[in-house]
Amino acid sequence: MTIFHRLRFRWRALVGRRRLEEEMREELARHLEQAVARQIERGLAPQAARRAARLEFGSPDVVAEECRESWGVRLVDELRGDLRLGLRSLRRSPGYALAVVSTLGLGIGANTAVFSVVRGVLLRPLPYDGGERLVALRQSAPQLGATDLGFSVLELDDYRRQLERVEAVVEYHSMNFTLLGGDEPLRVQTGVVSANYFDMLGVEPLLGRTFLPDEDELGAEAVLVLSHRFWRAAYGGDPTVVGRHFQMNDRPHTVVGVLPPLPSYPDANDVYMPASACPFRSDPDSLARREARAVTAFAKLAPGATLAQATSEANGLLARLRAEFAAAYPQTETIGIELSPVGDEMTRGARRTFLLLLATVGLILLVACANVANLALARLSDRGHELALRTALGGGRRRLLRQLVTESTLLAFLGGVLGLLLAWAARGLLVSFAARFSVRAEEIAIDATVFAFTFVVAAVTGLVFGSLPGLPGTDAPARALMAEGARSTGTRHRRRLRQSLVVGQLALSFVLLVVASLALRSLWRLNGVDAGFESENVLTAQIHLNWSTYTLDAHRLDRERVAAFHDRLATELRAVPGVVEVGNAWTFPLNAGFANSGQFEIEGRTSEERAPMVATQIGASRAYFEAVGVPLLRGDGFRGDERGEEPRVTLVNREFARRYFPNEDPLGERISGNGGRSWRTIIGIVGDVRQSDLREEAEPTTYLPFTEFPGFSSSIFVRTLGEPLLLERELRRRVLVADAQAAISGVETLEQVRSAALAPTALVTRLLALFAGVALFISATGLGGVLAYSVAQRTREIGVRMALGADPRRVLGEIVGEGLRTTVVGLALGLVAALAVARLMTGLLYGVSPADLVCLVASAATLLATSFVACLLPGRRALAVEPMHALRV
């Protein structure tokens, strides 16, 4: 209770200050009046009575001051004074204030910005109910190179029923369908999910509802839920879309709900449908065959269950299933199920990059802090008189220090405000930047946590740069008042401190230079990678046919008609002026989303020598290879009219030949991908193409004739004579003419595909280079400042030496030498730190070792050259010293 009372009293003392003050004055005056009255009673004349009372009770001002002290708010009072004084003294030197606030503003702003990204993407809990318990299930066979086999519907049933460490299991896969009923056919990426999918995620719809339990059942009416993004983009956020009917796969689909904004995970789906509505998923074959693995599984751990427990339970069940249904599992020793937290899945690849950037901007802030501390030290020398005077008048050392820290904190907070404004202004950029690394980018916001972060950073910054000048050895303000000669003791300490600050700056800049140069070199390496195709002058797009118009029965694609469509389209496009060749394939190069690998065997090899063999499978047309610029190295290409008749043929890439036929000629050999039921003859070898990632060497690949296996959703490639994008309209028009229900998406040039694959690396590299440049610039000004100061100190000495005929070059050499010595010390310290920091980058680099000598040398050269330039300016000022002028100073 007393604590509460005290706080209330202090609150009153702080807030109702004026009233309290007035009341005290009145009370004291009243007291004095009564004292006077008593003296008069005792017989004194009024004048004498007042005098006597005054004498007896002392000065009202002193009493008032003592009363104030007992209010317990003296510290706050002094702080107010310090702040007022600080503001006044900063207003007197606006240049200094501006330099400090803008330097710190940039430093803090960069930290706020990067932190807001880290917070939004890495730290914030997933926007799902119990998001930390959500896991992705991955069934893999490492020996076969299959990282994700997927699950079959039968398997998922077993996992859903028999696992106890997980609360729920949902199935998921994503397909492209054509949505009819709007203005034009829309290709929609459709998430096909079990009905409990959104319940497990704990997602409440924005409008309408999500799926009901019985909508999983075969034959249930087809319903759709729209993603927030698609709803806004395609229907302008119209709420009446709920209840509307659309035609999809020859069935009416009713929109029953709209989702709130969510991360585009697992895919950027436009709409969601229950599993029963998907023609592939409800195909009797998919439902009945245990080995028809086509869906992905997610699960939610039971409360209290650990990841390890659930993983071992799932693998136990897998072992039982393998024992029971041996034929349904690939023939390999190791099949396992991995459970991976969804939060990690979403930020895969982003974590390292963002943490590196956070560390980088942290270093920049340190460099900025050192610079500002240096400025503050220089200013302290100028303020020597003021501080000495205050010391002489009884200002305690701690009190003065507090004044300095108050001033620096004030500046740091102004810098923090500037930083917040900068980060806020850049938030759009931040989101689009982060979107290249993680689906959670939309969650980036300058929120309360980011505010608090900035506040703390600013406070620490203010403390650090404010108390540095007050370190022991610099407390010579009193001496500053004394004779000129006495000043040097204090300043020598101060100079040493300033020099160490500069050494620190240079060391940190070197670290940043090394980091940036490693990233740059790695980008060059990546840019120079031969991905195996000629990206110039090729237009590509995805064409999605309406599934239901190309089916034999409800579940089987009419390959003849799909192939005929593509044949017709390609023939027509070839007739367009400027078109060189037109090809088709299941996928396009550098498509990170494509994965289709399967096991196969080679005819005539005994099982002993048959190590598990896996290859990526791609359907490609005869003209694909020429259109994309993949060379036919040996043998023949496809004829272009293969329809599955014997002899069936296949092409393989060079990596396939190298790995599986190291000492033989693969041409004419036969392979089978279906356990020997049918065989394909290898008729040609083509060049390697990096199919999914610029960083990854080409996998062994087999190509199947596109005419035999056309895709109802596939890529088209148009090689042109001139600018490919000029043909975009023509391409779209021809596709619609060929089939009014065909949808087209992802129209871009192969150049664009390639640069998109480079973009994240290029962006990060550019940022790192920018950061290194900023740090280098700040450090150079710091070094220049310290040298300029030392030249100013030695004006007289230099003047005398010049008057006595010293060689100006030698004087210049001395100054520059001093600067370069400082730089070399910084460089040596930086080298140690750089080697440690660079090792953290290992996973981010491509084709460059973290201790790359070229990078180290280039960084050192850059640092030395910059320092040299920074030294020349003060050096030339030293040479310009007029001897007579110097002597008169």
Partner 1 sequence: MIDSRSDLLPGTLDLLVLRTLQSGPRHGWAISQRIEQLSDAVLVVTQGSLYPALYRLEEQGLIEAEWGSSENNRRAKYYRLTRAGRKRLANETENWERLSAAVARVLAAT
Binding residues for partner 1 (CB under 8 A): 1-2, 5-6, 9-10, 23-24, 26-28, 30-32, 34-35, 56-58, 62-63, 66-67, 69-72
Residue 310 belongs to what H/E stretch? helix 307-324
Q: How far is the CB of 56 from partner 1 (least distance, A)?
A: 7
Q: Which is nearer to partner 1, 34 or 306 (CB)?
A: 34
Phi, psi dihedrals of residue 408, rounded to the nearest 5°: -70, -35
Residue (66 or 797) nearer to partner 1, CB: 66
Sequence-ordered alpha helix ranges (H) in 325-447: 342-347, 350-382, 384-392, 397-425, 427-435
Residue 865: phi and psi, rounded to 5, are: -60, -45
Least separation, in Å, of the C-beta of 21 and partner 1?
A: 12
In the complex, the smallest distance separating the C-beta of residue 19 from partner 1, rounded to whole angstroms, is 11
Q: How far is the CB of 36 from partner 1 (least distance, A)?
A: 11
CA gap 777, 775 in Å, rounded: 5
Distance (Å, whole) CA 694 – CA 761: 11
In whole angstroms, the minimum distance from the beta carbon of 399 to partner 1 comes to 22
Q: What's the min distance (Å) between Cβ of 80 and partner 1?
A: 19
DSSP H helical ranges for 575-671: 624-628, 654-660
* Vertex 458: Cα angle to 457 and 462 (nearest 5): 120
* Nearest to partner 1 of 9, 451 (CB atom): 9
Minimum CB distance to partner 1, residue 167 (Å): 54
CB of 791 to partner 1, least distance (A): 56
CB of 13 to partner 1, least distance (A): 8
Q: Which residues contact 100 (CB under 8 A, 6 or more apart)?
A: 372, 375, 376, 411, 415
Q: Which residue, 10 or 427, is less far from partner 1 as judged by CB?
A: 10
Q: How far is it, in rounded angstroms, from Cα 786 to Cα 153?
A: 72
Question: Three-state SS across 736-801?
Answer: HHHCCCCEEEEEEEHHHHHHHHHHHHHHHHHHHHHHHHHHHHHHHHHHHHHHHHHHHHCHHHHHHH
Question: Which is nearest to 108 in space by CA: 560, 491, 456?
Answer: 456
Nearest distance from C-beta of residue 37 to partner 1, angstroms: 9
Least distance to partner 1, CB of residue 51, Å: 16
Q: Which is nearer to partner 1, 1 or 853 (CB)?
A: 1
Nearer to partner 1, 20 or 615 (CB): 20
- Quote the least distance from Cβ 50 to partner 1, whole Å: 14
For residues 465 and 107, what is the distance between their CA atoms, to the nearest angstrom?
13
Both tokens of residue 577? 């002026």
Note whether 714 and 542 are within 8 A (CB): yes
Of residues 30 and 322, the one with the C-beta less far from partner 1? 30
Distance CA 520, CA 526 (A): 10
Identity at 278, one-letter amino acid code: C
Least Å from the CB of residue 396 to partner 1? 22
**For the purposes of burial, counting CB atoms within 10 Å of the CB of 131, is it exposed (0-12), middle (13-18) or buried (19 or more)?**
middle
CA dihedral 364, 366, 367, 371 (to 10 degrees): 140
Give 62 or 393: the residue with its C-beta nearer to partner 1: 62
Report whether 499 contacts 822 (CB < 8 A): yes
Place of tokens 């204030």: 97
Please say which residue, 58 or 349, places its beta carbon nearer to partner 1.
58
Check if the beta carbon of residue 71 is closer than 8 Å to that of residue 378: no
User: What are the DSSP calls for 106-142, one per residue?
Assistant: HHHHHHHHHHHHHIIIIISPPSSTTGGGEEEEEEEBG
Provide the CB-side half-sphere exposure for 862 (13 A, CA).
23
Task: Measure the CA–CA gap between 101 and 417, rounded to whole angstroms.
Answer: 9
Q: Please answer whether residues 178 and 248 qualify as being in contact, where contact means their C-beta atoms are separated by less than 8 angstroms.
A: yes
Output the smallest distance, CB 42 to partner 1, in A.
13
Indicate the residue type of 487. R
Q: Which is nearer to partner 1, 58 or 428 (CB)?
A: 58
Smallest distance from partner 1 to CB 84, Å: 25
The single-letter DSSP state of residue 713 is: E
* Nearest-approach distance from CB 380 to partner 1, in angstroms: 37
Measured from the CB atom, the residue of 33 and 797 that comes closer to partner 1 is 33
691 CB-near residues (< 8 Å, 6+ apart): 587, 589, 590, 591, 594, 616, 618, 698, 699, 701
Nearest to partner 1 of 15, 737 (CB atom): 15
Nearer to partner 1, 20 or 361 (CB): 20
Classify burial at 243, counting beta carbons within 10 Å of its beta carbon; exposed 0-12, middle 13-18, buried 19 or more. exposed
Nearer to partner 1, 34 or 674 (CB): 34
57 vs 455, which CB is nearer to partner 1?
A: 57
Q: Which is closer to partner 1, CB of 13 or CB of 458?
A: 13
The CA distance from 870 to 873, in Å, is 6
- Residue ranges of alpha helices (H) inside 468-616 are 477-481, 487-527, 559-574
